[in-house]
């Protein structure tokens, strides 16, 4: 049986070992490609794989747990073990990861008394219920039981959030209570007070996250340790993520990154973040908020060593050369055949308005004031509010109060304004011309903030109310639209120009492979293929095409549904074999 210990160095089977790890998030990769990505990791020269665990995917609604199919963490770890790869597990509760709400489940916000990421009894109660289920999936896969898991992380980058060491110790207590007995680690930035804030050195090895100036940061870590302990960069950032509206796809020079890797390995161990980024499928992208909201794009390519679609990059080869200085590079046979296909143009088959399908997709909720997504038991997607606002007259003061993130405002199903982020709450004036007038609000959750102080205020939809001529409007009908039941759409119902609408396409193919959807001429929305939400698109870029893994396609007919909110559409979409991450 293997052993793993942290002393003055890392020791595997009582011998010093340099951990050379790469990050792969199993939940960002279709499970049919786990083997391929892990084989390419091993072929790089890595001996370890690291992954986060997203609480919000494994417990999407409180008390409902999912560890099946693409969320089968146990199977992912077992695949790694079959390749003789060690595993570093980072089980949350918070992961950041540019992921919706940093991996925290939306339903935590339903309780106004709950304080996230603090020593708070309600929060700890929720975490314990989750850890009891999660850790049961993996405890027998620890190295102490003959498995591949050598370390687990307590929380994540906590030093940039708070300094509640009681909370961190209680996280470690819970992990140990449910069977964790491998060494524990923490990871934080090496700047300011982050190491002091976010570590419990007597219980967990402090490691650092950074992308440059390694020698300087290792010096700081040595000083913090105060004695000889292993030096490790738990997240060696070799690229960066993209947000909607960025000028270009973020990249990092491969030679520069390889030099930093050499500096790390000359003194310690590394986890490359990201080895393979993958995709923010569905509505699971996160967002940052400093001076404004910056939601992340669907691609999590990250300029990683493997592209979003799994191809080896020149940076991979640069890193392989450096790793070869410190360990033998194994010969690995790649066992998964992956081809890319250009299936060409497909013309729209059917189309129908959202407004004519509200009752098909959602059960109407009536209330005297608007409810948030959280109050409607909804995690992601869209929510539609409507209210009768009376006779013809001038509306001189119209405002959305406490609303997130992007709102289309309609009168009698005609768009009068779109407000996004900082624009929300700005006064709007308009004229009602009919004897009876219906106000409609289509509001999109663009991705809950995954980092820093704004995490405490991530309710989506309308929280406080809607002002009409100086007073709060009452009498609301609401439709929850997570867009998980598109099979209920009725395409025989009318389509109307300029309205948010669904477009049905039929892709017929003889050979299955990876492809990319080009949505040139389309405005904003998301794409579903055979019932699987591929992710969002938005003409502002930088991402211009959506990656479609081959395993999501069927030989023969495939149903493609595009939902578009801006009324900016064409009659075709194109399936190409070329990605496009830049404008």
Distances (CA, A) of 164 to 158, 209, 269, 530: 9, 20, 28, 46
H or E element, residue 355? none
The single residue of 235, 260, 308, 444 carrying the catalytic annotation is 235
Q: Cα–chain-centroid distance for residue 403?
A: 22
**Beta-ladder partners of 279:** 299
Query: Whole-angstrom Cα distance, residue 403 to residue 466?
Result: 9
Query: Whole-angstrom Cα distance, residue 442 to residue 452?
Result: 28
Burial (CB count <10 Å: 0-12, 13-18, 19+), residue 274: buried
H or E element, residue 149? strand 149-153
Strands 287-289, 86-90: pairing kind:
unpaired
Q: Cα–chain-centroid distance for residue 227?
A: 37
Active-site residue 216, yes or no? no
Distances (CA, A) of 155 to 31, 430, 558, 583: 26, 49, 41, 36
The gap between the terminal CA atoms of the chain, to the nearest Å, is 52
Sign of CA dihedral 64, 463, 405, 411: positive
**Beta-ladder partners of 532:** 529
Query: Whole-angstrom Cα distance, residue 36 to residue 83?
Result: 11
Sign of CA dihedral 315, 320, 323, 325: negative
Active-site residue 564, yes or no? no
Give the contacts of 316 (CB within 8 A, at least 6 positions apart). Answer: 40, 44, 305, 306
Sign of CA dihedral 347, 350, 353, 358: negative
Instruction: Please list the helix, strand and coil fractions of the chain in percent, rounded to the nearest 5, in that order.
Output: 25, 35, 45
The single residue of 39, 59, 155, 157 carrying the catalytic annotation is 157
Query: Whole-angstrom Cα distance, residue 456 to residue 397?
Result: 29
Strand ordering across the sheet containing 572-576: 344-347, 572-576, 515-518, 545-548
Structure tokens belonging to residue 550? 């081959």
Give me the active site residues, please.
157, 235
């Amino acid at each position: 049986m293997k052993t793993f210990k942290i002393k003055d160095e890392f020791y595997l089977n009582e011998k010093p070992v340099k951990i050379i790890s790469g990050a792969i998030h199993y939940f960002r990769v279709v499970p049919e490609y786990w083997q391929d990505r892990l084989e390419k990791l091993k072929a790089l020269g890595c001996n370890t794989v690291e992954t986060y665990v997203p609480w919000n995917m494994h417990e999407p609604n409180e008390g409902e747990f999912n560890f099946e199919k693409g969320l089968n963490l146990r199977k992912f770890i077992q695949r790694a073990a079959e390749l003789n790869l060690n595993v570093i597990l980072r089980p949350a509760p918070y992961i950041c990861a540019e992921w919706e709400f940093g991996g925290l489940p939306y339903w935590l916000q339903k309780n106004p008394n709950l304080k996230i990421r603090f020593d708070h009894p309600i929060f700890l109660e929720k975490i314990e219920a989750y850890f009891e289920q999660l850790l049961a999936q993996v405890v027998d896969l620890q190295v102490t039981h003959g498995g591949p898991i050598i370390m687990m992380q307590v929380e994540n980058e906590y030093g940039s959030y708070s300094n509640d060491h009681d909370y961190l110790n209680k996280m470690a207590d819970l992990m140990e209570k449910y069977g964790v007995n491998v060494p524990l680690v923490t990871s934080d930035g090496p700047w300011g007070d982050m190491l002091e804030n976010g570590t419990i050195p007597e219980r967990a090895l402090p490691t650092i996250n950074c992308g440059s100036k390694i020698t300087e940061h290792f010096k700081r870590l040595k000083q913090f340790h105060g004695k000889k302990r292993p030096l490790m960069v738990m997240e060696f950032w070799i690229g960066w993520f993209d947000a909607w509206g960025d000028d270009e796809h973020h990249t990092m020079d491969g030679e520069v990154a390889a030099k930093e890797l050499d500096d790390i390995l000359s003194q310690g161990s590394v986890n490359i973040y990201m080895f393979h980024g993958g995709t923010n499928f569905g509505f699971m992208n996160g967002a940052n908020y400093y001076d404004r909201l910056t939601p992340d794009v669907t691609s999590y390519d990250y300029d990683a060593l493997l592209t979003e679609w799994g191809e080896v990059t020149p940076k991979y080869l640069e890193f392989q050369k450096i790793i070869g200085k410190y360990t033998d590079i194994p010969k690995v046979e790649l066992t998964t055949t992956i081809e890319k296909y250009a299936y060409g143009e497909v013309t729209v088959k059917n189309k129908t308005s959202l407004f004519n399908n509200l009752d098909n997709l959602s059960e109407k909720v009536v209330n005297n004031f608007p409810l948030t997504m959280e109050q409607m038991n909804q995690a992601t997607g869209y929510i539609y509010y409507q209210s009768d606002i009376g006779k013809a007259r001038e509306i001189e003061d119209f405002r959305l109060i406490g609303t997130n993130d992007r709102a289309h405002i309609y009168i009698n199903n005609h768009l009068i304004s779109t407000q996004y982020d900082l624009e929300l709450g700005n006064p709007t004036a308009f004229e009602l011309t009919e004897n009876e007038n219906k106000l409609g609000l289509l509001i999109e959750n663009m991705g809950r903030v995954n980092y820093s102080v704004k995490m405490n205020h991530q309710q989506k939809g309308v929280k406080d109310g809607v002002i009409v001529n100086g007073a709060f409007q009452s009498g609301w009908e609401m439709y929850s639209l997570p867009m998980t039941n598109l099979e209920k759409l009725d395409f025989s119902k009318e389509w109307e120009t300029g309205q948010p609408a669904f477009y049905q396409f039929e892709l017929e193919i003889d050979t299955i492979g990876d492809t990319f959807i080009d949505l040139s001429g389309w405005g904003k929305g998301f794409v579903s293929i055979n019932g699987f939400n591929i992710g969002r698109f938005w003409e502002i870029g930088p991402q211009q095409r959506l990656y479609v893994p081959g395993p999501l396609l069927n030989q023969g007919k495939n149903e493609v549904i595009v939902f578009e909110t801006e009324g900016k559409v064409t009659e075709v979409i194109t399936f190409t074999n070329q990605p496009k991450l830049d404008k």
